[in-house]
Amino acid sequence: MNTDDPELEESAQFEKLADEPLGKGAYGQVFRARRADGNAEFAVKDAEIASKVPIWMHGIPRTMFQEVMVMKELRSAHVIPLQAVYVRAQQVCTVMPLYTCDLKRVLSRHTALSEAHVKRLALSILEGLAFLHSHWFLHRDLSPANVFVDRAGNVLLADYGMATSFGTSRKFNYREEVVTLWYRAPELLLGAEMYQDKVDVWAFGCILAEIFLGGQPLFNGANREEQLAKIFAVLGTPGSKDNAGTLWPLAYSLIEFQLFEHRAPTPLASVFTALDPEAVDLLQQCLALNPAERISASKACAHPWFQRAPLPCDKAQLAFPGL
């Protein structure tokens, strides 16, 4: 298998080692598998194509093509690499290295994390996002389940089924449901059709808050309306057309804008009382209600919180044996 330049391998033979999937991605399930001519294990994502027309006649959906291209073209220590692609019946199967430790699992096991551990995790996620954004790609589905830590302590971003390029510095029209609800930015919840990299930064801010809260999501609504209500209860309500306010004056122009009971913002320092003020400041900048005021991933990498003691731990200390 040529891992330096993965190609479409219709004849590749991988056998599943269990019927139970390791997890689910945006457009398919991920299974533990082994190549027939070797003993090494891999993760294989089976993406089913709903159309009854054979793949060779109509090709693969844009979303699947986009996911393959992100992993094939973008080489980074924080992007899970693509090792092969093959077609089986009406499935497009992508082969990746096998990682079994994701951040969701770490948090669900209530793994003890020092501030140095949290800084290394947070900085690595931001570096991955900054890399994607510098190459004009949005992840659009960042959540703890899509952040993996390998045995060497490398942090990798996974599942690019929702990823898309945004080509130039202009905003583009993307009107599809993206990002798991608890990590979805308010502009997406209000129906924004024009957005950029700040939706990923919001998702990161939600993940960082969840780490600080020991695995409890900061905003865990059951539906869109409840999710917005939970966000506004902490961060305050945006202004209306007649009362623009100062939090997010243009929110009223979004197609699904609705008035909520007025709430003043709650200082995050009163929610995260035990945190370093610099950590609270980073959270505040990542979770700015107004996307225009949200920090970028590249600027967040240089935030003072990462530069004061304790410093981010060495990545080798981030490995989680047994997970």
| pLDDT for res 169 | 45
Nearest-angstrom CA–CA distance, 149 and 101: 6
Determine the angle formed by the axes of helices 115-134 and 198-212, rounding to 10 degrees: 170
pTM of the model: 0.88
Mapped onto helix, strand or coil, the DSSP state of residue 278 is: helix
**Domains parsed from the chain with CATH numbers:** 14-97 (3.30.200.20), 103-318 (1.10.510.10)
DSSP 102: B
DSSP 151: T
Contact 242, 284 (CB under 8 A): no
**Is residue 242 classed exposed, middle or buried when 0-12, 13-18 and 19+ CB atoms within 10 A define those classes?**
exposed
| pLDDT for res 11 | 41
| pLDDT for res 170 | 44
| pLDDT for res 2 | 46
Q: Which positions are annotated as active-site residues?
A: 141
Q: Count Cα neighbours of 65 within 13 Å in the Cβ-side half-sphere.
A: 7
| pLDDT for res 130 | 97
| pLDDT for res 72 | 85
What average pLDDT values come out for the chain (323 residues) when binned by 10 residues? 48 74 78 83 84 62 79 88 83 88 91 93 98 93 94 92 69 57 94 90 98 96 94 86 65 82 90 96 97 96 97 91 60
Residue 45 assigned ligand-binding role:
yes
| Residue tagged 């027309």 (tokens) | 53
Which residues, other chains included, contact 251 with Cβ-Cβ below 8 Å and sequence gap of 6+? 186, 187, 190, 238, 239, 257, 289, 290
Dihedral sign for Cα 286, 291, 292, 297, please.
positive
